[in-house]
Amino acid sequence: MTLLGLLGLALLLLALAMLLPALLRSPRPAPTQAGSLAPEPNLALLREQKAQLDEQLGSGAIGPAQYALASSELEQRVLDEAAPATAPPSRTGGGRLSALLLGLALPLLALALYSWLGQPQAVLAPELQAGVAAEPTQAQVEAMVAQLAKRLDEQPSGQPPDPQAWEMLARAYASLQRFEESNRAYIRAGELAPRNAQLLADHADVLAMVQGQSAAGEPTRLIERALAIDPKNLKALALAGTAALQRQDPGAAVVFWSRAQALAPPDSEFAAGLASSLDVARAQLLAAAPQGSRPAASAPAAPALAISGTVSLAPALAAQLAASDTVFVFARAVQGSRMPLAILKFKASELPRAFTLDDSSAMSQELKLSSVGQVMLVARVSRSGNAMPQAGDLTGELGPVKPGAPGLRLVINSVQP
């Protein structure tokens, strides 16, 4: 028996324990005149209490078992008030009969009320509850989608088309992974609502699935239209980053995903997915950094907005450096995105060496060294050659500095915790 059943049984036993002794006890004659009835105000008060019980049951303030118990008590009080004040000398047999009937009727009444007003499936075991409130089957869902599609196809010509209904149909097809049909429904919805940024982004997503998860061509154009209408549309920004990464432009992917990350709820799964995607894009950026193989003596003069200087290793860390380690020197904005604006990569065996960072070493056309007023210079020695920071890497920072500053000295003097 479930906990709910045990509690209900306990309440019923408590009610019977309160009522049965009174019914089994022999009544005592009252000193009042035989045949006199209770005053009408007492009965009116009991009727009001009954009405209050009905209201409390209807509002959910009390449960069916409580209602049954209280109703029984009220009914007994009505009988007591309405009956003659002096009873026959012996009612033991009638009282026992009433007790027997009440003992049977009260549980049945409580169960009947609970079945009518309550939630009988709540007392079922979890495996049986699943059968009571089962999810629609795949066949049922497909039947409903087919019915919606038929209704839209057979819509009378005089009735104005409903773009939301077509969008709903497109989403339903997509949930069933019927992307070709979803694409056709999105085309119709887009004809009816061409300025709906979310619809355009959803359409681009489905069309990319039709093209084998490729955002090239029409999906990218749909994404661009969506962002032109709503530059803060999260799905369009996320898809734009994916499209950029597919066309081998990790810098643009970082830009789009960083914008989406700034708008997404911080603790959401969407934000966590963006963080993972940004790690991948930034790793590709660093891996694609140009190799600096020219000797320091032959380095050309720094352009007007270039940052130049010398990077070296602190003597205290010399024992931790291997000639095969990889050195990254890059500039990033003081505030905002931590994406490198310009980057240089070379072997640790070349330390110390001169460096020059300018727009020609930018990783993205959207973010350049010349686009900011101040930057932080960072040097990092990676033992594994991995583009992402790892514990044990040797690092050094300098800044803030302004683009165009020459003769800087950047020292690698700390260990990544």
Burial group, residue 36, by CB count within 10 angstroms (0-12, 13-18, 19+): exposed
Report whether 407 contacts 393 (CB < 8 A): no
- Is 45 among the domain residues? yes
pLDDT at residue 9, rounded to an integer: 59
> What integer pLDDT is reported at residue 103 of this predicted model?
58
| Dihedral sign (CA 69, 75, 76, 77) | positive
Asked if 280 and 379 sit in the same domain, the reply is: no
Which residues have CB under 8 Å from 329's CB, separation 6+? 311, 343, 344, 345, 346, 355, 357, 377, 378, 379, 410
269 shares a domain with 152: yes
User: Among 108, 129, 150, which residue terminates a domain?
Assistant: 129
Give the global pTM: 0.47
- Are residues 217 and 311 both part of a single domain? no
Q: What pLDDT, on the 0 to 100 scale, is given for residue 96?
A: 58
pLDDT of 31: 46
Query: Do 334 and 398 fall into the same domain?
Result: yes
Instruction: In whole angstroms, give the CA distance from residue 366 to residue 259.
Output: 13
Residue whose structure tokens are 């369009």: 236
In a domain, 244, yes or no: yes
Residue that terminates a domain, selected from 68, 102, 129: 129
Assign residue 367 the CATH number of its domain.
2.60.40
Do 204 and 282 lie in a common domain? yes
Final residue in a domain of this structure, among 87, 102, 129 = 129
Specify whether 168 is located in the same domain as 114.
Answer: no
Whether 275 and 212 map to the same domain: the answer is yes
Query: Does 166 share its domain with 279?
Result: yes
Total number of domains in the chain: 3
pLDDT in the model for residue 6: 53
- The verdict on 99 and 221 lying in the same domain is no
| Domain with 350 in it | 296-415
Residue 291 lies in a domain: no
197 in the same domain as 263: yes
Tell me if 86 is assigned to some domain.
Answer: yes
Q: What DSSP letter does each residue of 187-230 carry, written as one string?
A: HHHHHH-TT-HHHHHHHHHHHHHHTTS--TTHHHHHHHHHHHH-
Beta carbons within 10 angstroms of residue 127's beta carbon: 7
CATH number, residue 252? 1.25.40.10
Q: How many CB atoms lie within 10 A of CB 89?
A: 8
Co-location of 154 and 75 in the same domain: no
Please check whether residue 90 lies inside any domain of the structure: yes
Question: Each residue's pLDDT tens digit in the chain (417 positions)?
Answer: 454 555 465 556 656 666 556 655 555 544 444 444 445 555 566 567 666 766 665 665 665 555 555 655 655 565 565 554 444 444 445 555 555 555 555 565 555 555 544 554 444 445 444 444 456 677 887 888 898 889 888 888 888 888 999 999 999 999 899 999 999 999 999 999 999 999 999 999 999 999 999 999 999 999 999 999 999 999 999 999 999 999 988 888 888 998 999 899 988 999 888 988 888 888 887 776 655 544 444 444 444 478 889 999 998 998 898 888 999 999 888 877 777 888 888 898 898 889 888 888 777 766 788 888 889 999 999 887 776 778 889 999 998 998 888 889 999 999 988
Which runs of consecutive H residues, i.e. helices, occur in 25-89? 40-59, 64-82
Which of the 8 DSSP states describes residue 348? G
**84 and 179 housed in the same domain:** no
